[in-house]
Amino acid sequence: ESGRYHLYVSLACPWAHRTLIFRELMALTDHIGVTVVSPDMLSDGWEMSSPEPLFGFTRMHQIYTHAKPDYTGRVTVPVLWDKKHNTIVSNESSEIIRMFNSEFNELTGNYDDYYPEQLRNDIDRWNDIVYGSINNGVYRCGFATTQDAYEKAFDDLFAALDKVDFHLSGNRYLTGDEITEADWRLFTTLVRFDAVYVGHFKCNKRRIADYSNLQGYLKELYQVPSVRDTTDFYHIKRHYYYSHIGLNPTQLIPKGPELDLNSAHLRDTHCY
């Protein structure tokens, strides 16, 4: 029912960003509340800038131990909380976006489907490619501790980006002519790429802006109504450059780059 669930997210985290996008797309903003954590993730992990509304907690680890007092595992976002049963429903973004996609349709009257049955095999295939080489690939580059590991991740990443760019030369979206879950899972990495991953994670062979098809595709998704408002470049740059002290000991946050995401994407005029 409306108001039963509460979502804890980071505006910096690509995995959490997906859940915010689906909350908007599926008309759940009036039914599922949101707490946004601070972009700074230091010795205490994810923190809230002010006490969250359910329990007055200021640390995400308190949410986890409230659900399970002996919990000692990783504390991550997003987290979907069930107020009726006073526990965590899920902390896995792929599960949460599937729930948002279909479980609340009768409540909202929104029956849009980003995981349609006839496209599921294709969506799952793209999800595997995108997750392994792109979503996780940028992290494999950024946190590699050997030159060989970095170069392997780097080559995998750009081979996958080249593959997607070529595919988009003949297809409007990953699975054809409609936006699906696979597109949104890719989007949250692409939108961070030029601002963070190129420099901070050493993913500097090319920017997304240098790809003729990926850049237009990124702009089109960014310009979907309500999606732009879920994207916060202050949180994104602040989190990565300030929190990853091992990669950026001075914690200096770059002023740039200037991103051109609001201009015409020209995907409507492309011949597919």
Domain borders along the chain are: 5-108, 117-269
pLDDT(271) > 80: no
pTM, entire model: 0.96
Residues contacting residue 175 through CB under 8 Å, at least 6 positions apart: 119, 122, 123, 126, 182, 183
Q: Which residues are part of a known binding site for glutathione?
A: 46, 74-77, 92-93
Q: Each residue of 169-205: pLDDT tens digit?
A: 999 999 999 999 999 999 999 999 999 999 999 999 9
Which helix H or strand E contains 42, and what residues bound it?
Answer: strand 41-42
Q: Give the separation between CA 17 and CA 261, rounded to whole angstroms.
A: 17
Do 117-269 and 5-108 have the same topology in CATH?
no
Residue closest to 199 by CA, chosen among 157, 152, 241, 145:
241
pLDDT band at 1; cut points 50, 70, 90: confident
- The CATH number of 117-269 is 1.20.1050.10
pLDDT confidence of residue 56 = 98
As beta bridge partners, residue 46 has: 41
Percent of the chain residues topping a pLDDT of 90: 97
Sign of the Cα pseudo-torsion (83, 92, 48, 255, in order): negative
Q: Each residue of 155-167: pLDDT tens digit?
A: 999 999 999 999 9
- The CATH number of 5-108 is 3.40.30.10
- Cβ-count burial of 209 within 10 angstroms (0-12 exposed, 13-18 middle, 19+ buried)? middle
Q: Which residues are part of a known binding site?
A: 46, 74-77, 92-93
Q: Catalytic amino acids?
A: 13, 139
